[in-house]
Amino acid sequence: MIKKDYYEILGISRDASTDEIKKAYRKLALKYHPDKNKEKQAEEKFKEAAEAYDILSNPEKKKRYDKFGHSSSQGYSGGMNMEDIFTNFGDIFGDAFSFSGFSNYKKKNIKGSDLRIKVKLTLNEILKGIEKKMKVQRMKMAKGVELIFCKNCNGTGQITRVTNTILGIMHTTTTCSICGGLGKKSERLPKGVNNKGLKKKEELVSITIPPGVTEGIQLKISGKGNDAPFGNGIPGDLIVVIEEIPHEKLKREGKNLHYDLYISFPDAVLGAYEEVPTGDGKARIKIDAGTQSGKTLRLKGKGLPFLEGYGRGDLLIHIIVWTPKKLNEEQKKMFKQIKNEENFIPSPQKSEKSFFEKVREMFSS
């Protein structure tokens, strides 16, 4: 499904000010608020406007969106749920829903707890992106749970106490300890169901992982966490934590890959062709005659993709000339004959970079 342009959703120009963005969002949010607008598409338009505002009201997110479009948010939660919207942007509504819709909506939309799982990925999976199906143990609303009206709070979920003080009458409101703020409590719970009416069930969840993720990054899948108590609200979210499986030969540094290539002394002198591994296969490279140990070759675009979806890093090949530790008599004699010849005496050129210059260049690239 093709997503609409965020500027088009809010009905503003691309150079709109922060105040204009906020004003446009508030107008749409009030128009399509689910407690005010009962049309079938109202809630989706409400979420759509909130998602647009979330991106365009944040300077960093807006900058990425202006440059990369919708691919700038690839790999993230992909849309917002109602709880997120009211939690993050509730102040924008002002007093429009202070005593009815907004407060009631918040009350009835208790959110279930989040779940957290780890997903291990190979370098190849990180390079290409992948859809994984994972078995997740979720707490789901159980069948056969009977609920009754909580008499302790009269179904409000709150207890209000009135106290006479020297300053006058004070009202203190707390969550009902009997029903936990739900306004209802369980009368009968089936076997294996906890006191919130939930039972653990295994579910197969599809997780789309975009290319270029890094170790420790967290992806959120809305609504795939635990159900709210007694199903009276919205489910929590599934938090997916990425773990990288180290590659046997390649080392990762951000978007770049590193590979140590050992070559023989004759190959360094005469030149050769070598095959090196890449993230998604192999590449054949040329070793020039006279190559020095410590030289770094760069294969452009053979690294990992940027999570934003634009460009790829490089593969850096570090040449190491292998020096044999043992020689037979004939080999020793050959090297003794040539070791004092002029072209075997080290004579670095000024144009050749020092080790420290190479390291500094590598980390600044």
pLDDT one digit per residue (tens) for the chain, 365 residues: 567 899 999 999 999 999 999 999 989 988 888 767 778 788 888 888 888 998 999 888 888 888 877 765 544 444 566 555 655 565 555 544 443 344 444 444 678 999 999 999 999 999 999 999 999 999 998 888 877 888 888 877 888 888 887 767 787 888 888 777 777 777 777 888 887 889 999 999 999 999 999 999 999 999 999 998 887 788 999 999 999 999 999 999 999 999 999 999 999 999 999 999 998 899 999 999 999 999 999 999 999 998 876 789 999 999 999 998 899 999 889 888 888 888 777 777 765 555 555 555 554 55
Q: Where are the alpha helices (DSSP H) in 39-98?
A: 42-56, 59-68, 82-89
Taking residue 348's Cβ as centre, other Cβ atoms within 10 Å add up to 9
Q: Where are the alpha helices (DSSP H) in 77-216?
A: 82-89, 101-108, 123-128
Tell me which H or E stretch contains 21. helix 18-32
d(CA 284, CA 95): 67
CA distances from 345 to 220, 323, 327, 341 (A): 61, 16, 20, 7
Show the CA angle centred on residue 228, arms to residues 223 and 232, nearest 5°: 115
Taking residue 110's Cβ as centre, other Cβ atoms within 10 Å add up to 17
Question: Residue 108: helix, strand or coil by DSSP?
Answer: helix
d(CA 51, CA 39): 20
d(CA 302, CA 280): 9
Taking residue 112's Cβ as centre, other Cβ atoms within 10 Å add up to 25
Site of tokens 């004070």: 170
What pLDDT digit, counting tens, does each position of 195-214 carry? 788 999 999 999 999 999 99
Amino acid at 249: K
Closest CA to 27 of 94, 84, 99, 81: 94
